[in-house]
Structure 1
Amino acid sequence: MNKEIALGIIIGLLFVTLVVMFCVLLVKLYIKKIKEHNQKEIAFQKTLNTTIIETQEQVLNNISQDLHDDAGQQLTSINFQLENLKLDSPELAKTLAPVSKSVGQLSQSIRSISHSLNNQLVMQQDVIKAIATEIKRLQKNKKVTIHYSFEELVSKKFSDHEKIFIYRIFQECINNALKHSKASIINITIRTKPEYEMVFSDNGVGFDLKTSPDKISMGLTSMKNRALDIHYILNIESEIGEGTTITLNEIKPD
């Protein structure tokens, strides 16, 4: 009888062990499936983000080309006609001088905007210099004061992707500040050592990220996606009435 009881206990323990092992196997398979699904989801999202960004870049390049080829050439033609008119009618030279000056300034502005939209031109130059050039152009706007400081202890090399995405993030920061923040002062600080960091802050109206995260604009979402694609981190801090600070950091290599 005792042998039968012992045998029954052993068989019961083996059965329980098999059930537990089967459950563990099911859990492992479930976890593996979840990981595979997450990886596929991440890969799909990354592909989608890349497609969206590539489309945006193509649109910006097309706009840049249209500005250069169409608007730029038309302004050149208008300026040529004004110069001919001044030669044909010298008495109008003084009257037409301000018009010629305005057309020249507008032509230069369109040329600068065209260059800033074209990623090929951004890739061909130093991204820090491209940012500084754009800031210099924007500083002519008397409605907002832009302070810029740059600290570079050693020269930093950027990949083409980094150049384009860093510049686009900078442009989006500027665009949001000028169009939505109602800021009167913008501060931009860039450092390149130990890793790249750009701090962009304004004294504008700000917004509430904590209570309304769903209201983050497509522009801010696009900036975060661009940052992730080049292994950078974008941090946004803002409060209503307290302005906004956006920090772009390069992720330190392991």
Structure 2
Amino acid sequence: MQNSTIAFGILIAVFFSALIVLFCVLIVKLYINKIKNYTKLIYQKDIDFQKTLNVTIQETQEQVLNNISQDLHDDAGQQLTYINFVVENLKYDNPALNDALTPLSQSIGTLSSSIRSISHSLNSQLLVQESIVKAIEAEVERLKSNTRIQFEFKLFGIRKNTLDNNEKIVVYRIFQEIINNALKHSGATSVGVILKTEPHFELSVSDNGKGFDLSENTTAKAGMGLKNIINRAGIINFKVKIDAIPLTGTTITLSQK
């Protein structure tokens, strides 16, 4: 009888010990889940803050670019118009100087046209009035006439605008950033621009420049150009893929997630 009582007591002790261990496990598990949820919340708040900061920076940059665009149109554009007016009057009053002044007049016209194109490319208000396809195509045409690099543009899909106004502005600024990096740093002789509008939007820019080692150019170590591209893409929830091979070239692809 006494042995049975001892055995029963041991079973009771083991049972309560198991309950205590189970309770402790549940408490630890709940605590770990709480930490995970808290960490996730902090991480999400950090992402939201970064996105808000990027949006604010983007809006500020757009305002500055719009101001520059307006100044180019109102100041430089008008000054060139006046200079061309004076040159044309000199040609009219002095026919003997016509041959000498004609190249100058043509150069002024070319410069005026370039400034007008640059002004339009900087102005987001003008950008939203046309499709992203037309805007990128027009910028490529401008670059063809102003640089020694060979540019090629290919479109796959419809020309109809497939992006909202905010996406259009951000995508165009990213395109300008990619081109700017290629012109400044790649040493390329040719740049290819491929734009797809179906089944989803995708923009790919490739150059035959010197490329770089991706293992040495992570987001943390990337230059301001790549950081700007990645940060801007995050504003509209687009993804960026960078393919670079040293001494061969670089391809940067921007697409909807």
Return the TM-score normalized by structure 2: 0.91
Q: Say whether 1:196 aligns with 2:195.
A: no
Match of 1:93 among 81, 86, 98: 98
Residue type of the partner of 1:183?
A
Alpha-carbon contact 1:209-1:216 (below 8 Å) kept: no
What SS does the aligned partner of 1:193 have?
coil
Aligned equivalents of 1:217, 1:209: Cα separation in 2? 12
The one-letter code of the counterpart of 1:77 is Y
**Partners of 2:101 and 2:71 in 1: CA distance:** 28
Which residue does the alignment assign to 1:143? 148
Cα displacement (A) at 1:91:
2.1
Task: Give the greater-gyration-radius structure (CA).
Answer: 2
Partner of 1:152: 157
> Which residue matches 1:245?
251
Q: Does residue 1:53 correspond to 2:58, yes or no?
A: yes
SS at match of 2:211: coil
How far is the alpha carbon of 1:153 from its aligned partner? 4.6
Q: CA deviation at 1:154?
A: 7.3
What are the ranges of 5 or more consecutive residues in structure 2 without an aligned counterpart?
A: none
Deviations 1:1-52 (CA, angstroms, capped at 9, x unpaired): 4243333333322322222222122112211211111111111111111112
Q: Select 1:228's aligned residue among 228, 234, 251.
A: 234
Q: Is the 8 A contact 1:154 1:193 kept in 2?
A: no
What is the rounded CA distance, in whole Å, between the counterparts of 2:33 and 2:150 in structure 1?
A: 59
CA 174–212 in structure 1, closer or farther in 2 if over 3 Å, else same: closer
Alignment equivalent of 1:14, drawn from 19, 22, 27: 19
User: Does the CA-based 8 Å contact 2:162-2:197 persist in structure 1?
Assistant: no
Matched residue, 1:210:
215
Structure 2 letter corresponding to 1:75: L
Corresponding residue SS for 2:39: helix
TM-score normalised per structure 1: 0.92
Q: 2:81 aligns with which of 72, 76, 79?
A: 76
1:183 to 172, 182, 188: 188
Q: 4+ runs of 1 displaced by more than 6 Å? A: none
Paired residue type of 1:76? T
Residue in structure 1 matching 2:174, options 169, 172, 175: 169
SS at match of 1:210: helix
2:207 maps to a residue whose letter is D
**In the aligned structure 1, how far is the partner of 2:78 from the partner of 2:201?**
39
* Cα 1:230–1:142 shift into 2, 3 Å: closer
